[in-house]
Amino acid sequence: MQQPYESAGAGPHAAPRAGPAPAPSGNGQATRGHGETARVLVVDDDPTVAEVVSGYLDRAGYVVDRAADGPAALARAAAHWPDLVVLDLMLPGMDGLEVCRRLRGRGPVPVIMLTARGDEDDRILGLEVGADDYVTKPFSPRELVLRVESVLRRTRPVTVAHPLHTAGLTLDPAARRATKNGTELALTVREFDLLAFFLRHPGRAYGREDLMREVWGWDFGDLSTVTVHVRRLRGKIEDDPARPRLIQTVWGVGYRFDATAGSRDESRDESRDESLEGPLDGSLDAASDGSLDVAPDGSPDATPDGETRSRP
């Protein structure tokens, strides 16, 4: 039977089934600011998974709450609001997607989703409902702790940061607040970080590997995660997400943020023949190296509009 977490020798990120977890590195990753310890809610109906994950997080310096199903998770969150939730997708009665929706309805909270390896559709759905990250089973508990640290680090208030203004967008890194034409945007943690990066680096093209490394600090991972976050961000900041002007696809490279698109759109000739748009509508996202992406289960990677890329 496949273990829900990796045992010794199971892969490049394998962790032993038992033994001490790595101690906190001293850079404050187990705190939420002002010296307070971060609280993590672990939601999984498998007691072995919950025990292993909770043990590693506890030894890394976090306060850990546990719940075995959706209603219990919502009750625990109401009693002690978590700084982050590790949430299994497959739960009895109320699945993880619904739990994520209800938690987000109560307030902003980062969510790391646990999914079965190869379930590409489930991972995409998790990101669609607002999960900030996902980890596939079997997984390394050490890697999960690093993911928790990464997400929490990026949600802490920035002590010295100036608001950014461009193309009708205003982003305040210290307040973790973004608006478009004065209307607040409901962004997840990773969407906020991605927008902040684009606003700080307008006019330059970045591959998906670059964005994964520069925005979220990952040197490994599924590149389709970047594609999904770009699509979701386009849906919140573009006037017409099907014809993106701000976040543009650069064929064979990745993406580029065009800070001048707003002013250009105002002067556009509305009678322009849209049949000439072709690939500039951004409906297909090219891989950073121009090649076909393949999901972990071997199926072609899906583009933002649900179509599948193929070689010419």
Query: Given a cut of 50, is residue 2 above it in pLDDT?
Result: no
- Of the two residues 35 and 134, the one the predictor is more confident about is 134
The secondary structure element, H or E, covering residue 41 is strand 39-43
pTM: 0.50
- What is the structure's pLDDT at 4? 55
Does residue 115 surpass a pLDDT of 70? yes
Query: Is residue 136 pLDDT above 60, yes or no?
Result: yes
Q: Residue 205: its pLDDT value, please?
A: 93
Please report the pLDDT score of residue 248 as a whole number. 94
Position 153 pLDDT exceeds 90: no
Q: Which of 16-20, 127-131, 269-273, 279-283 has the highest mean pLDDT?
A: 127-131
Tell me the pLDDT band of 301, cut-offs 50, 70 and 90: very low
Residue 185 has pLDDT above 60, yes or no: yes
Question: How many CB atoms neighbour CB 184 within 10 A?
Answer: 10
Helices (H), the chain: 47-59, 70-79, 96-106, 120-128, 141-155, 189-200, 208-216, 224-237, 261-266
Percent pLDDT > 70 in the chain is: 65
* Residue 231: Cβ within 10 Å count: 21
Q: How far is CA 239 from the centre of its chain?
A: 23
Angle, to 10 degrees, between the axis of helix 224-237 and the axis of helix 120-128? 30
- Angle, to 10 degrees, between the axis of helix 224-237 and the axis of helix 189-200? 80
* pLDDT of res. 217: 73
Question: 307: pLDDT confidence band, cut at 50, 70 and 90?
Answer: very low
What pLDDT does 222 receive? 72
Flag the least confident range among 114-118, 162-166, 170-174, 263-267.
263-267
The per-residue pLDDT for 30 is: 65
Question: Mean pLDDT throughout 6-14?
Answer: 38
Q: Which residue has the tokens 């109320």?
A: 94
The pLDDT of residue 192 is above 80: yes
